Chain A
């Protein structure tokens, strides 16, 4: 079992393409290239009613609205992202 790469509090950047070919080819378009903070980790989630094989480790990340949608946005976006879509923000 892979050890999750990220921990709560880590800063991450959403990739525009997954780090490797993945059975879960989805991540929201608006998030790509933007920075977020990890607020929860789940590891690999078994969800057999939804998908056959467990997807990569899952995180809840928070985006500042203004970082994604421009300076007039004041809200937060909370989204779940799988590990192959995330890089460490260095």
Chain B
């Protein structure tokens, strides 16, 4: 099936890759195909955009938000009645009416999701009574024991009902986040202003840090050497906060080797340096195929053909070593400044599913194959 190459807008990668709905629990969803004429200026595939939003929303709701609140309730750091009282203090959240125009409505979902994700991540500020590690929520969310898995929400068809359901869940998450923040401040576990400070800090974390690191490594051999030998601390030279979530693994592409990154056990990524990975990074479809057949998967799902003679090296991340790829500098870029070079680096190229300077393509039709769903 012929399809236009999806447009990747660089200002917000996370929710705009076009792809098939994929879940991390092998719960397959069926999508309608939407073909648009060439030159169509709207979102290229509303279904796929909403599917990506659902994948992100369900991941962050179940694995980061509700599991953490349950952990804090279980240990008595945030008793559930305190959460309810905080919700009463806050009162109803006023939400704007949805946009009439479908594209505007989906874009509003994306913006709202961004803000919800930052709110969820802000709940990781330290509390007075305990140091909570990612390991605690990993247990709580059922990474080691399926009986702890939080159920996935059902998002109905058709698209408009699906969007309305997403809006409702976003509203629920906004209320939960606000109530948790309020309750933790009210009980003295967290100092006033801490959540706002964390959200501001989160805004400086993202894949653009990776783009700047790559561009510097391309133009400055000394920096490249230090990055490869000393790792994370080297990024201080760029005034980028290095983060401290384990060791930063650097996988450098060359004429002989192409590197790809995955985390088959969960979704480990250097996210305190590079922000959240593209949404499909957390899907079983990506994990299962990239580890067993990276050459085939890259070609089919990302239109990336690695020459037969080139070795592919798949890095399976863990919580203690989190990998990023240094893509190869594209040919013909000798005259570009460091800033211009950084513009060639995409989130996909930092994972190894695209080359630098290449618009990544994730065709919804073939990307669906990642989760093993056969058309028809």
Contact = CB atoms under 8 A, between A and B. Distances in A.
Interface of A: 25-26, 28, 30, 42, 45, 47-52, 55, 58, 60, 69, 73-80
Contacts of B134: 49-51
Interface stretch (B242-250, B337-345, B358-366): B242-250
Interface in B281-300: 291-295
B199 to A, nearest CB: 18
B131 interface: yes
A75 B312 contact: yes
Given A75-B314, A79-B316, A48 B295 contact: no
Contact of B245 (A28, A47, A79): A47
Given A52-B133, A52-B135, 18 more contacts: A28-B291, A42-B320, A42-B321, A45-B246, A45-B320, A45-B321, A47-B320, A50-B135, A50-B245, A50-B320, A51-B319, A55-B320, A75-B294, A75-B312, A76-B314, A79-B316, A79-B318, A80-B320
A55 B317 CA distance: 15
A1 to B, nearest CB: 17
B291 A30 contact: yes
B295 A58 contact: no
Contacts, number: 83
Contact of B292 (A30, A50, A76): A30
Contacts of A79: 315-316, 318
A32 B311 CA distance: 23
13 contacts: A26-B144, A26-B265, A28-B265, A42-B247, A42-B321, A47-B320, A50-B245, A58-B321, A69-B293, A74-B312, A75-B294, A75-B314, A77-B313
A77 B131 CA distance: 34
Contacts of B320: 42, 45, 47, 50, 55, 58, 80
B133 A80 contact: no
Complex A-B, nearest 9 residue pairs according to Cβ-Cβ distance, in ascending order: A51-B135, A79-B316, A75-B312, A80-B318, A45-B320, A50-B319, A80-B321, A50-B134, A47-B246
Contacts of B293: 69, 73
Given A26-B144, A28-B265, A78 B319 contact: no
Main SS class of interface, A: loop
Given A45-B246, A45-B247, A51-B135, A28 B292 contact: no
Contact of B313 (A25, A30, A50, A78): A78
B349 interface: no
Nearest to B288: A30
Given A48-B131, A50-B134, A50-B319, A76 B313 contact: yes
Contacts of A52: 131, 133, 135
B346 interface: no
Contacts of A58: 318, 320-321
A30 B293 CA distance: 13
Contacts of A77: 291, 313-314, 316
A41 to B, nearest CB: 12
Contact of A78 (B246, B265, B314): B314
B292 A73 contact: yes
B49 interface: no
A49 B295 contact: no
Contacts of B247: 42, 45
